[in-house]
Structures are given as structure tokens and as C-alpha cells.
């Protein structure tokens, strides 16, 4: 039986043997990973993690004409407040309109926990449909319904005939998995099972008139050159434009999906000639579904960050369409131009040590970009490890000057602070909310992902270099910050092994 026949997507712990607690050197990681020798572990002390809802809501709130209905405790979904800026700015650059996300909550309380809350959910579905008349209502369940046994799928089946919106269950019970990337699968699972069929039978009706037949021929021809470009949140509009530009140079069309994509257009993805991920960790679940159920082949090997990886990404796609020679010509011209543009930045970057922190694939390919710019990678921390990035470790090991640390940690800033004190990098790249530890230590920082900035493709390589040059030319801000802000750790912690609590039931210092 396929995963997609189940109501709920499987956990990544089982599906991919994903791990969240490990430390090793870059030189051995690729070999160990390929030999399945990276065991997941525990920490005797942890400082927190990320809930699935954070990721799921970021995707769902971006979809036009969609209401996100969170079935859970009132605090679940509070992250939607901070994400709303992305929804507004992303909608503005794509549609020329600033719109807020519409998200509601059943706000479960103690009485609901004792009595059950399926009735409350049904009422909320009806009310969301009446008030907003959306095309889609995504019903996202948090921990509480999972604990008390509310069956959101049965409620949805009961209420679907009553409402005009299509109802999409998204199972995000936070306690079920420690791998928050499972949220990508949870959203894709709901979308794949509920939104891939055209909304009206009219859309599937064969053409009857001459004009309709001509339009169908044009559409079929276009779809034979259309690539599904998967974006769950790995890139902002500026990066999408860069990849569209490169695909256009090959004569290919892009169907960017699913963030900021209209739910009624999702079925187009089932007729494309190829699906291509922009981050293998994000997209594999849905790519497999598109292939299994609709016969759309896929490429899920690379992330187009850095000069070499962008060229490889483009070559793979061109190879699928038999456009290898065209790709070689484009790559040669693009690489020549970007390398010339980067030359003035290199003297400042040469041999400066950099530490990176992000999701596994993004961290590893950004490390390769920084090496291309002249930096020396001195440590990488990633949120989890799974099988998609094994080859990227080999690439880094081949160029590493030392066997630097690879730390798999689902957000453990205490380990990071300890590591940074020992490694003493000249630069830190991490997510915007994860840069504070390095900043308080006085290390210059740059955000590894921001939807308003360019990171991807040849243009991204240049823009990253330009921004890092500005940061390193004047690193006074974080230096001053470190003089006035401190981290909460005792000196004894900095003197200890950073992995004191890894694979332990606790430890005393
Ligand atoms: S972990 Fe559970 S209770 Fe906490 S925000 Fe996530 S779904 Fe809600």
C-alpha cells in the first residue's frame, strides 16, 4: 500500500531514518552516511525544538484564497503572526497586492479536552466557509486533537458536502515526531490527496469546438516543455526569477509550486513534463507522489546554490530534455561572467573561517558556495540528517583543509555557543532567528535565508558575495553588541566538551 493511501503521512524517523543528534568530522560523514552508520541519538539536556506547525503554516498561509483553520490549543499557530510579513511581502511581489493570511483557531480549552472537540471543529469549518468564501480550508491539527482522539478526517468528510471550499486535512500533531521537516510531507500529503484533481468536471471535458482543440494543442505543447519547480519555502520571488531565467534560456517553462500558488491551479503539476526540486530535503515526498500517481518524472538531487551546483542543477534538467549542448553554452557564459564579477571580493574573503547553521542541504551547498568565494569552512551545524545530502559531504571532504565538526542538532544553542568559542570563526551564517548566539559573541553574521534576498543561481552567488563583503568591511555592529549583551552560560560550560550531553541520560559539570 502506498503512503498516499493512508490518512496521515508517515514520520520521517521511519520513512527516512532521519536523525537529530550526532557529531562527527566532515571527512567521515559521507562514508558513514552511505553505510547507514549514523545512528540517531538523544541529548541528556536539550533547549527546545521546532514544532511542525511553524513550517506547515508558512506554506499554507501563502496560498491565495485559502483559510487555515488550526484545530488545537490557542497558542498553536502563534507563529503565524511573525510569518505574516512574508505572506504580505510574497503576495505583493507576485500579485501586486498586499494581503494578510487568514488563519483561525478552534482554541481548545480544558472542557474540550475532556468532552472532545469534533463538534467545535465542524462549527468552525462552517463558519470559516460562510465568512470568507475561500476556495480551500486547510484544517491543521495540533497536539491536543491527537491526544484526545478527535478524528479530523471524519469531521471533514461529514462537512465537505455542506461547504463550497475544498477541505484539506493537514496532520501536524507536534508530539508525534521530532523531525519538523515531516511538516513538508504533511502539507504535501493533504494537497496531494485533495487538490490535484481539477475543481470542476468542466476542466476535464474534452475540447469540442475548433478553437478549443487548437487551444488544447498549444497547451499540450507547452506542458511538454513545462517543469514543476518545487518551492516549499526555500526561495523568495527573486530566486524564483533567477531559476525561471535559466530555464527560459533552455526554452523551458516553469510551474512554480506550491507556495503562493492558487489551490485551483495545483492540478497543472500533474501534467508537467518534469518535476525538479530546489531542495531535496523538502520535496521528495511530493515528487514521488507525482511520479507514482501521474507519471511525472522527477529530479531530486541538487540545490542550485553556488556556481558549481547551479551548473550541475541546470545540466541535469537539460539532460532530461536532450538539451545538453545548449546547457553547456549557457553555463560557460554564465560562469565566466559571475567569476569575473566575484574577483574584486575575493581578497577580503581569502582564508577567512566561516561557520554555517541551517537545514542540512542548504548548509552543505552554501558551504560550497563560500569555498568558491575563497572562505575556509570551519564548522557546520544542521537541524537533522537524512539520506539526501550524502554526496554533498563527499564534495566538502574533498576540499576541506581540516576535518571540521559536523553537528546535527535540532536547535541546541548551548552546543553552538560552546563550538563557536572553540572554533572562533570570522563569519557566521545562520537563519535570522538563529544568528543571535554568534552575534552576542561578536562574530559577524549574515542570514542564510531571507525571502527578500537573492541566494540561488549565478545571481545569488554574486549577491551573497556582495552582502558578505559589506558585512566584513565593517563588522562593528556585532562587536559592539557583544560588549553589551551576554549569553547565559557559565565559563565551566565553555571549558567542557561541546557534546557533553550527546547520547547521555544527563551529565554533571
Ligand atoms: S508542539 Fe503541539 S501544542 Fe505545541 S505548538 Fe506544536 S502542535 Fe501546538
The per-residue pLDDT for 201 is 62
Together in a domain, 479 and 363: yes
The domain in which residue 472 lies consists of 344-495
Q: Which residues of the chain have pLDDT under 70?
A: 35-37, 39-40, 200-205, 505-509
Domain boundary among 139, 169, 194: 194
263 assigned to some structural domain: yes
Q: CATH code at 270?
A: 3.40.50.1980
402 assigned to some structural domain: yes
CA 76–ligand 1 middle distance (angstroms): 5
Phi/psi-derived region of residue 154, left when phi > 0, alpha when psi is between -120 and 50, beta in every other case: alpha
25 assigned to some structural domain: no
Name residue 419's beta-bridge partners.
none
The atom number, within ligand 1, closest to the CA of 53 reads 6
What are 385-396's pLDDT values in tens digits?
988 888 999 999
The atom number, within ligand 1, closest to the CA of 172 reads 7
Together in a domain, 8 and 142: yes
Nearest to 339 by CA among 304, 369, 377: 369
Together in a domain, 190 and 57: yes
Together in a domain, 323 and 353: no
413 assigned to some structural domain: yes
104 assigned to some structural domain: yes
Together in a domain, 66 and 167: yes
Rg (CA), the chain: 24
111 Cβ contact list (under 8 Å, min separation 6)? none
Q: DSSP assignment, residue 11?
A: P
CB-based pocket (< 6 A), ligand 1:
51, 53, 72-73, 76, 142-143, 174-175
43 assigned to some structural domain: no
Task: For a ligand 1 pocket test, name from 57, 74, 103, 143 the mutation site with the most ligand atoms within 8 angstroms of its C-beta.
Answer: 143
Together in a domain, 382 and 426: yes
The Cα 88–Cα 91 span in angstroms is: 5
- Structure pTM? 0.93
CA 49–ligand 1 middle distance (angstroms): 11
The per-residue pLDDT for 505 is 63
For 128, the 3-state DSSP assignment is helix
44 Cβ contact list (under 8 Å, min separation 6)? 501, 504, 505, 506, 507
Sign of CA dihedral 126, 173, 54, 181: negative
For 430, the 3-state DSSP assignment is strand
Nearest to 280 by CA among 184, 388, 362: 388
The Cα 29–Cα 51 span in angstroms is: 27
Together in a domain, 84 and 185: yes
Together in a domain, 434 and 364: yes
What are the cell numbers at 94? 507576485
The per-residue pLDDT for 108 is 96
For 441, the 3-state DSSP assignment is coil
The Cα 285–Cα 185 span in angstroms is: 6
The Cα 97–Cα 248 span in angstroms is: 26
The per-residue pLDDT for 284 is 92
Domain boundary among 194, 221, 245: 194
CA 141–ligand 1 middle distance (angstroms): 9
The atom number, within ligand 1, closest to the CA of 142 reads 7
What is the layout of strands, in order, in the sheet containing 102-105?
A: 102-105, 66-71, 136-141, 166-171
326 assigned to some structural domain: yes
Domain boundary among 335, 359, 387: 335
Q: Are strands 21-25 and 405-409 parallel, antiparallel or unpaired?
A: antiparallel
Together in a domain, 356 and 405: yes
Together in a domain, 426 and 329: no
Provide the CB-side half-sphere exposure for 71 (13 A, CA).
Answer: 35
Whether the CB-CB separation of 250 and 327 falls below 8 Å is answered with yes
37 assigned to some structural domain: no
Which residue do the cell numbers 565593517 mark? 474
The atom number, within ligand 1, closest to the CA of 173 reads 7
Together in a domain, 369 and 488: yes
What are 330-389's pLDDT values in tens digits?
999 999 999 999 999 999 999 899 999 999 999 999 999 999 999 999 999 999 998 888
Beta strands in 56-132 (DSSP E): 66-71, 102-105
Domain count, the chain: 3
Together in a domain, 190 and 216: no
The per-residue pLDDT for 440 is 97
Name residue 227's beta-bridge partners.
254, 274
Find the helix or strand (DSSP H, E) in which 189 lies. helix 182-194
Amino acid at each position: 500500500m502506498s503512503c498516499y493511501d493512508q490518512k496521515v503521512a508517515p514520520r520521517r524517523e521511519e520513512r527516512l531514518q532521519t536523525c537529530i543528534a550526532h557529531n562527527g568530522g566532515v571527512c567521515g560523514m559521507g562514508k558513514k552516511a552511505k553505510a547507514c552508520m549514523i545512528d540517531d541519538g538523544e541529548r541528556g539536556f536539550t533547549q527546545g525544538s521546532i514544532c511542525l506547525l511553524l513550517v506547515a503554516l508558512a506554506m499554507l498561509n501563502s496560498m491565495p484564497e485559502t483559510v487555515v483553520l488550526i484545530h488545537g490549543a490557542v497558542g498553536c499557530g502563534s507563529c503565524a503572526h511573525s510569518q505574516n510579513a512574508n505572506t504580505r511581502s510574497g503576495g505583493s511581489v507576485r500579485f501586486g497586492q498586499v494581503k494578510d493570511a487568514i488563519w483561525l483557531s478552534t482554541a481548545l480549552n480544558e472542557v474540550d479536552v475532556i468532552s472532545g472537540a469534533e463538534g467545535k471543529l465542524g462549527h468552525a469549518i462552517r463558519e470559516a466557509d460562510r465568512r470568507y468564501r475561500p476556495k480551500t480550508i486547510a484544517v491543521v491539527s495540533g497536539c491536543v486533537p491527537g491526544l484526545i482522539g478527535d478524528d479530523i478526517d471524519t469531521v471533514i468528510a461529514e462537512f465537505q458536502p455542506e461547504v463550497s471550499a475544498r477541505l484539506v486535512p493537514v496532520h501536524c500533531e507536534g508530539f508525534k515526531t521530532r523531525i519538523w521537516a515531516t511538516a513538508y510531507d504533511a502539507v504535501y500529503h493533504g494537497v496531494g490527496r485533495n487538490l490535484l484533481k481539477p475543481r470542476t468536471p468542466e476542466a476535464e471535458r474534452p475540447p469540442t469546438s475548433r478553437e478549443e482543440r487548437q487551444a488544447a494543442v498549444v497547451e499540450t505543447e507547452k506542458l511538454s516543455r513545462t517543469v514543476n519547480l518545487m518551492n516549499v519555502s526555500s526561495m523568495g520571488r527573486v530566486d524564483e526569477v533567477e531559476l525561471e531565467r535559466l530555464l527560459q534560456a533552455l526554452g523551458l517553462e516553469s510551474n512554480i509550486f506550491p507556495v503562493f500558488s492558487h489551490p485551483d491551479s495545483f492540478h497543472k503539476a500533474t501534467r508537467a513534463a518534469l518535476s525538479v526540486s530546489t531542495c531535496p530535503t523538502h520535496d521528495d515526498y511530493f515528487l514521488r507522489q507525482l511520479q507514482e500517481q501521474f507519471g511525472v518524472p522527477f529530479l531530486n538531487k541538487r540545490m542550485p546554490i553556488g556556481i558549481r551546483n547551479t551548473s550541475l542543477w541546470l545540466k541535469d534538467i537539460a539532460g532530461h530534455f536532450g538539451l545538453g549542448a545548449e546547457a553547456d553554452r549557457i553555463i560557460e557564459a554564465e560562469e565566466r561572467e559571475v567569476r569575473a564579477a566575484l574577483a574584486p571580493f575575493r581578497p577580503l574573503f581569502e582564508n577567512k573561517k566561516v561557520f554555517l547553521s541551517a537545514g542540512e542541504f542548504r548548509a552543505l551547498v552554501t558551504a560550497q558556495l563560500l569555498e568558491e568565494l575563497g572562505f575556509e569552512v570551519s564548522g557546520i551545524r544542521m537541524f537533522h540528517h537524512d539520506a539526501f545530502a550524502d554526496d554533498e559531504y563527499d564534495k566538502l571532504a574533498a576540499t576541506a583543509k581540516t576535518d571540521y565538526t559536523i553537528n546535527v542538532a535540532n536547535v541546541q544553542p548551548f552546543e553552538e555557543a560552546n563550538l563557536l568559542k572553540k572554533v572562533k570563526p570570522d563569519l557566521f551564517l545562520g537563519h535570522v532567528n538563529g544568528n543571535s548566539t554568534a552575534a552576542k559573541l561578536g562574530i559577524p553574521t549574515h542570514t542564510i535565508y531571507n525571502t527578500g534576498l537573492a541566494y540561488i543561481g549565478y545571481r545569488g552567488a554574486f549577491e551573497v558575495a556582495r552582502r558578505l563583503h559589506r558585512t566584513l568591511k565593517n563588522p562593528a555592529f556585532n562587536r559592539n553588541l557583544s560588549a553589551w549583551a551576554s549569553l547565559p552560560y557559565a565559563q565551566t560550560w565553555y571549558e567542557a566538551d561541546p557534546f557533553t550531553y550527546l547520547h547521555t541520560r544527563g551529565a554533571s559539570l
